[in-house]
Chain A
Amino acid sequence: MLDAVLIEEGLGAPTVGVFTPRMGIGAPLLAGELVGWIRKAGLSVEVRVPSRAGGVAVELAKAGSWVEYGQPLVHSGEGTVAGAATRAVAGEEEVPEGVTVVRADTDGTVYLRPEPSAPPFAEVGAPVSANATLGLVEVMKTFSPVRAPRAGVLVKTCVDDAASVEAGAPLFWVGPA
């Protein structure tokens, strides 16, 4: 089972292969709903609606069409998809006074949990001490901790677990305790 990719038009293919839609026109894009299947080299993979999607299916890729990664499977109509795609184009939010933004010091992959099933390093709303580990950045299989620059409260995480980031991207907001 794979989550479809959030793209500007709606939902994109999470892998390559032959698409068979399951969802109908007008269906609401609710997290976990079956979009359809992609068959690659004899292996059929379920494609589901990811979290943070929204709106309804306005148009679907045809049954039997061959898709590449990220190619549209579902058009959701204008302005209906929330989340990663829109978050990326929205730019940076205004930082409230007293909040320190912790940024990525290199391109990499950010992990918010020590392992996928574990609780996050730091919970939003919880106090953090100076130098506490907030996440890990992986660069070419080398992992380095992202640390809190000061004691305070974790106000916000700006990225999802396992997100790709570029150097300078905001990762965390740490506010006064």
Chain B
Amino acid sequence: MFRRILIANRGEVAARVARTAARLGIETVAVASAADADQAWLSEVDRVVRIGPARAARSYLDVEALIEVGRHTGCAAVHPGWGFLSENEHFAARCEAAGLTFIGPRPRHIREFGDKSLARATMGKLGMPLIPGSKEPVADAEHAKRVAEEVGYPVLLKAVAGGGGRGMRGVDRPEDLAAAFEEASAEALASFGDGRMYLERRIVGGRHVEVQVLGDAWGNAVVLGERECSLQRRHQKVLEEAPAPGLSPDERARILPIVADVVRRSGYRNAGTVEMLVDATGKAYFMEMNTRLQVEHPVTEEIMGVDLVEHQLRIAANQRLSLTQDELVPKGHAIECRINAEDPDDGFRPCPGLVETLDFPEGEGIRVDTHLTAGDRIPPNYDSMVAKLIAYGADRSQAIERMKAALAGTRIDGVTTNIELHKRILDWDLFVSGRYDTTSLETHLVGRS
């Protein structure tokens, strides 16, 4: 195992990694930008290096600076956390070249699974179900029309180079396709310098279900059940749970072995998440893969009784996976609420500032993941995460009851948070029924305002 690691990140994930490392007796070096230098949690690591100014490009995204710190402080490995450089193939390769083990997948896996069109091709070849659509980019509106007839309306036009919804258009009727194609392609060309388009069937009212995977350097791979992340606002997850109410036992029994097989055959190493879209008939299709630890990983840890960061560290140190598929049976139910410093009543405006009070309840089945302490300031430069509240129960209704109690007992002063929104979600009949989809929360919020 590593003697000392660099945590190339900040905030909640940096504190999360430091906690497991400390438990395993691994020393930690953290980096802090000028905006983060006073955060209280930094006293828990063995060394803090001030890496740069608040601007991420010159601190948490500065590849040379991070590698310099790792080497100078005698680290053996680098944990990238999530966001920032965690899915950057170039950073992973630079770490390895500098003699620092990257605690994550091989650079080539970051490329193969991180690039959306390459991932689709790779996954399809390995046997993952894909949303029916064009195998190659469609050349023009006429070509798009022919493919659309094959896959059936409604369809979705997506920019090959896309992201953040730009260059994306839903089309319900054949007569609207030509205009939508020209518009989306022009937008993609302007945004990404690449006007090529894909076309696939549009899944309306789908559910976002994702599968947690681990693979080691010895060709072993396991799946650790799935998570439901359909409660979203502008493609941002708000609340997650595991197991997923949106995945039927039959579909779970069909899809999870396929995911395990894909991971094993690709030689994928470390933690990853295969995101899927489940249509109204309950059938799951590959959407994309995240080659890193996810924010919502605690719900998986709770129902599986594992520490995913520990396995990330062990796998990176070339140890064999100590988990077998047979013993990975989910037990109970877990829910995670993302507590953000934002105002849901004012368009989710971010509300950074001084956290004056930060009190969370303690109790059976309640877990709080946070890096903050009362007196810390949430800087305006990064994300608005205050904490993740995780409730575990023997079943879903017990997890809901415990989460309600946890939210009621939470007190945060100084910054506005979305706690009231979470309370409303937990009382919302559609959530309680488990029958929500990716459009439900936004529709519900619009209905209220």
Q: Is B397 engaged at the interface, CB distance under 8 Å to the other chain?
A: no
Please pick, from A43, A140, A142, the residue contacting B382 in the complex, using a CB distance under 8 A.
Answer: A140
Query: If the complex has contacts A68-B49, A70-B34, A109-B380, are A41 and B350 also in contact, measured as CB distance less than 8 A?
Result: no
Which of B60-68, B135-143, B172-180 is the interface stretch? Answer: B60-68
B350 engages A139 (CB within 8 Å): yes
Query: If the complex has contacts A68-B49, A68-B50, A164-B381, are A15 and B353 also in contact, measured as CB distance less than 8 A?
Result: no
Please give, as numbers and ranges, the residues of chain A lying within 8 Å of B50 by CB-CB distance: 16, 68-71
Which of B51-59, B310-318, B329-337, B434-442 is the interface stretch? Answer: B51-59
Please give, as numbers and ranges, the residues of chain A lying within 8 Å of B125 by CB-CB distance: none
Please give, as numbers and ranges, the residues of chain A lying within 8 Å of B53 by CB-CB distance: 5, 14, 69
Size category, B interface: 35 or more
Please pick, from A42, A109, A167, the residue contacting B381 in the complex, using a CB distance under 8 A.
Answer: A109
User: Which residue in chain B gives the minimum CB-CB distance to A140?
Assistant: B350
Q: Is A108 engaged at the interface, CB distance under 8 Å to the other chain?
A: yes
Please pick, from B68, B98, B351, B352, the residue contacting A16 in the complex, using a CB distance under 8 A.
Answer: B68
Q: Which of A14, A17, A41 has the most CB of B within 10 A?
A: A41
Q: CA of A88 to CA of B245 in the docked complex: distance in angstroms?
A: 54
Q: Is B448 engaged at the interface, CB distance under 8 Å to the other chain?
A: no
B71 engages A140 (CB within 8 Å): no
A107 engages B379 (CB within 8 Å): yes
Binary per-residue interface labels of chain A (135-162) against chain B in the complex, 1 for a CB within 8 Å, 0 otherwise = 0001110100000000000000000001
Q: Is B349 engaged at the interface, CB distance under 8 Å to the other chain?
A: yes
Please pick, from A5, A40, A70, A138, the residue contacting B65 in the complex, using a CB distance under 8 A.
Answer: A40
Q: CA of A37 to CA of B55 in the docked complex: distance in angstroms?
A: 21
Q: Is B383 engaged at the interface, CB distance under 8 Å to the other chain?
A: yes
Q: CA of A106 to CA of B383 in the docked complex: distance in angstroms?
A: 15
Please give, as numbers and ranges, the residues of chain A lying within 8 Å of B51 by CB-CB distance: 15-16, 68-69
A140 engages B67 (CB within 8 Å): no
Give the shortest distance, in Å, between A162 (CB) and chain B (any CB): 8
27 A-B pairs within 8 Å (CB atoms) are namely: A14-B58, A15-B58, A16-B49, A16-B51, A16-B65, A16-B68, A16-B72, A17-B65, A40-B67, A41-B64, A41-B94, A42-B64, A68-B51, A69-B50, A69-B52, A69-B53, A106-B353, A106-B380, A107-B378, A108-B380, A109-B380, A139-B350, A140-B352, A140-B383, A140-B384, A164-B35, A164-B54
B residues apposed to A, CB below 8 Å? 33-35, 49-55, 58-59, 62-65, 67-69, 71-72, 94, 98, 349-353, 377-384
